[in-house]
Amino acid sequence: MCGIVGYVGSRPATAIVIDGLQHLEYRGYDSAGIAVLQDGAIHVRRDAGKLSNLIKLLAQQPIDGHLALGHTRWATHGKPNQQNAHPHSDASGEIVVVQNGIVENYRELRESLQAEGIDFRSETDTEVIVHLLALNYSAAGGLAEAVRKTLGYLKGPSAIVAMTSREPDRLVAARLGNAGGVAIGLGSGETFVASDIPAILEHTRRMIFLEDGQYAVITPAGAQIATLDGQPVAAEIHDIPWNPVSAAKGEYRHFMQKEIFEQARSITDTMRGRVDFDSGEMILEQLRLSRERARSFDRIVTVACGTSAYAGLVGEFLLEHIARIPTDVDYASEFRYRDPIIDERTLLLAITQSGETVDTLAAVEEARNKGAFVVSIVNAIGSQAARISDGVITMRCGPEIGVASTKAFTASVVDQYLLALALAQARDSIGPAHRRRLVDDLAHLPRLMGQVLDQSPAGNAVYLDLAERFHGYRNFLFLGRGINYPIALEGALKLKEISYIHAEGYPAGEMKHGPIALIDREMPVVAIAVQDSVYDKMISQIEQVKARHGIVIAIATEGDDFIASKADHVITVPKAPSLLTPVLSVLPLQRLAYEIAVWRGADVDQPRNLAKSVTVE
């Protein structure tokens, strides 16, 4: 999970930047680099592997100055080697940039830059940014304008920081979409910038956070913020408490809120280094699954609890559709009590955020004893589930502190998508063109998620209005169909656990077999009705609810005007390939549950009776 640290001021900058990067090491990375302005020229030091390698290199070839920019990289495009490490420089070496995020259209941009005679020295998507900055620099009349112009060419979420030897008093940072944060720390006669607060917290507690679509000119005197279309912004200065736990919460009111809004970034991290967007291949080293073994499975059994089990239900669609392997999902707490039929031709998939859930661990033991190959999808590295599995896919979404699971849900769905592609690759279950399309679809996911996670006043207003209106209701019904049926289960679980409102999730087609009896004016029904193969069927369910005076809140695809005539309230998500729609449609349900719980004054991060890690049966 990439990290950025920058400094401009009067102190020696190298040590400050390296120290900041060390504070971000816990996030994981596979190469690191630093650019420093020394004697009027930019000097770059980069190395693969741990920061200690970079520190050794700096000891042999020291650089220092008062303007510096550092980065720890977790590879997405191209191997984790010295050439691909950030910062990246333009041909003249006068401009450098670091980036977190993905340039979705980097292939087109690289081809057109190459056609203009520009040589590329790395395999990264980031390098296009620095060449575009160089091309725009003169016409734009400075780095800030060049950054603003360059971002206009980029598709996909990006957080970038750039510097140039031609403007020795400044860094320019910008944020496009949700590629993670940009925190600007205000000191006295010095200013810091970082992707994460802990990197600079020991120097200052006064911070500004860039919003999506803003850029900042950072000088020793402070930071000037403007929108990417040029409107100056009077940014709020936050006072961050010293307590490291509160500090980690940053600008957010609750960890759950932070974790909801982190998801576009955590999904980028989940994909990093595992999806080769050029070849369309999966690189899941810890899966430790030979081609022969992958071809030997005749079924997959997924075991998990709670939210992780619902992620498994989404995965059932993905694994069957992409890998073409019959898949069943079992509550881990039930699994071992019915003498399950498992043998060495079974791939047992355990999904567990904590990796310590006792029921899931017991199910894994049971399956291992029966000869299954066990793969676990875990968030907590080194947890028991990871230790006792044959193969592991980590979620890489960082610590999930809110008791109600949010970012682990989306990360484990994406991990299953990667697993399905890896199995399809080994078993030749789908053709290369189809696999390629599925991989390309993934690259757009963080940007689409970022759109649903719009935190602007207008983006928040939808949820605040609904929370105001619905926080007093006592029951909710959630309906979904097809791959979005598990999202109805997850939406209901989120609402009930943090707001204590009774909520049921149902496959929409089952409504008429019972729950329809409950529908009246007091029963809000949340219907996930995105435009996919079961859309018409969802519309007819909505009509049945309306015929009984139920209130419908629809989660619909952007641009679907028809649904507005059927539902009472509509929340939209962008159009997406159908296998990825659950990752988008769950986001409004998390936001809605969160705002309703806040309205009710509930303890969102630590709901009553619940534990983050359930280590008792």
Q: Which residues of 232-270 are buried (b: 16+ CB within 10 A; e: fewer)?
A: ebebeeeebeeeeeebbbbbbebbbbbbbbbbbbbbbbb
> What would the x/- binding string for ligand F6R be over residues 46 to 85, using CB under 6 A?
----------------------------------------
With vertex at residue 462, the alpha carbon angle to CA 457 and CA 464, rounded to the nearest 5 degrees, is 80
Q: Does residue 305 touch ligand F6R according to CB under 6 A?
A: yes
CA–CA distance, 317 with 483 (Å, rounded to integer): 6
With vertex at residue 277, the alpha carbon angle to CA 51 and CA 109, rounded to the nearest 5 degrees, is 90
Residue 413, judged by CB atoms within 10 A of its CB (0-12, 13-18, 19+), counts as buried
**Closest distance of CB 297 from ligand F6R, Å:** 23
Using only C-alpha atoms, the chain has a radius of gyration, in whole angstroms, of 25
What are residue 192's phi and psi, to 5 degrees?
-120, 155
**Closest distance of CB 495 from ligand F6R, Å:** 11
**Quick one: which of 99, 191, 307, 581 contacts ligand F6R (CB under 6 A)?**
307
CA–CA distance, 38 with 64 (Å, rounded to integer): 6
Count CB neighbours of 59 within 10 A. Answer: 8
Nearer to ligand F6R, 353 or 394 (CB): 353
Nearer to ligand F6R, 22 or 357 (CB): 357
**Quick one: which of 31, 354, 429, 499 contacts ligand F6R (CB under 6 A)?**
354
Catalytic residue among 2, 397, 496, 566: 2
Nearer to ligand F6R, 223 or 589 (CB): 589
CA–CA distance, 521 with 549 (Å, rounded to integer): 5
Q: Which residues of 576-611 are buried (b: 16+ CB within 10 A; e: fewer)?
A: bebbbbbbbbbbbbbbbbbbbbbbeebebbbbeeee
Q: Does residue 306 touch ligand F6R according to CB under 6 A?
A: yes
Distance of CA 525 to the CA centre of its chain: 28
- The token pair that represents 142 in the structure block: 């400075």
Nearer to ligand F6R, 197 or 305 (CB): 305
CA–CA distance, 60 with 70 (Å, rounded to integer): 18
Q: Does residue 389 touch ligand F6R according to CB under 6 A?
A: no
- Candidates 25-33, 83-91, 207-215, 349-357; binding stretch for ligand F6R (CB under 6 A): 349-357
Nearer to ligand F6R, 385 or 483 (CB): 385
- Cβ within 8 Å of residue 127, ≥6 positions away: 88, 110, 120, 121
**Closest distance of CB 293 from ligand F6R, Å:** 25
Half-sphere exposure of 160 (CA within 13 A, CB side): 31
CA–CA distance, 564 with 546 (Å, rounded to integer): 13
Polymer length of the chain:
617
**Closest distance of CB 320 from ligand F6R, Å:** 22
Q: Does residue 31 touch ligand F6R according to CB under 6 A?
A: no
- Candidates 45-53, 113-121, 230-238, 304-312; binding stretch for ligand F6R (CB under 6 A): 304-312
Q: Report the site for ligand F6R in 393-422 (rule: CB under 6 A).
A: 404-405
- Candidates 178-186, 236-244, 354-362, 571-579; binding stretch for ligand F6R (CB under 6 A): 354-362
**Quick one: which of 100, 257, 308, 541 contacts ligand F6R (CB under 6 A)?**
308
Helical residues (DSSP H) of 453-534, grouped into ranges = 457-470, 485-499
Q: Does residue 352 touch ligand F6R according to CB under 6 A?
A: yes
> What would the x/- binding string for ligand F6R be over residues 594 to 613, using CB under 6 A?
-------------------x
Residue 566: active-site member: no
Cβ-contact 498, 604 below 8 angstroms: yes
Half-sphere exposure of 68 (CA within 13 A, CB side): 26
CA–CA distance, 581 with 556 (Å, rounded to integer): 11
Q: Name the residue among 21, 17, 15 with its Cα closest to residue 7.
A: 17
**Closest distance of CB 305 from ligand F6R, Å:** 4
Interface with ligand F6R: number of residues (CB under 6 A): 15
What are residue 169's phi and psi, to 5 degrees?
-105, 15
Nearer to ligand F6R, 75 or 305 (CB): 305
**Closest distance of CB 464 from ligand F6R, Å:** 22
Give the pairing of strands 31-38 and 67-73. antiparallel
Nearer to ligand F6R, 126 or 360 (CB): 360
- Candidates 184-192, 303-311, 315-323, 530-538; binding stretch for ligand F6R (CB under 6 A): 303-311
Q: Does residue 376 touch ligand F6R according to CB under 6 A?
A: no
Residue in the shown chain whose Cβ atom is closest to ligand F6R? 306
Nearer to ligand F6R, 181 or 306 (CB): 306
With vertex at residue 33, the alpha carbon angle to CA 27 and CA 38, rounded to the nearest 5 degrees, is 140
Nearer to ligand F6R, 124 or 353 (CB): 353
**Closest distance of CB 552 from ligand F6R, Å:** 25
**Closest distance of CB 271 from ligand F6R, Å:** 20
Q: Report the site for ligand F6R in 430-449 (rule: CB under 6 A).
A: none
Q: Report the site for ligand F6R in 458-517 (rule: CB under 6 A).
A: 493, 497
**Closest distance of CB 560 from ligand F6R, Å:** 29
Q: Report the site for ligand F6R in 139-178 (rule: CB under 6 A).
A: none
Helix, strand, or coil here: 227? strand
Nearer to ligand F6R, 227 or 613 (CB): 613
**Quick one: which of 136, 165, 357, 410 contacts ligand F6R (CB under 6 A)?**
357
CA–CA distance, 321 with 439 (Å, rounded to integer): 14
Residue 397: active-site member: no
Please list the active-site residues.
2, 612
Binding site for ligand F6R (CB under 6 A): 305-308, 352-354, 357, 360, 404-405, 493, 497, 613-614
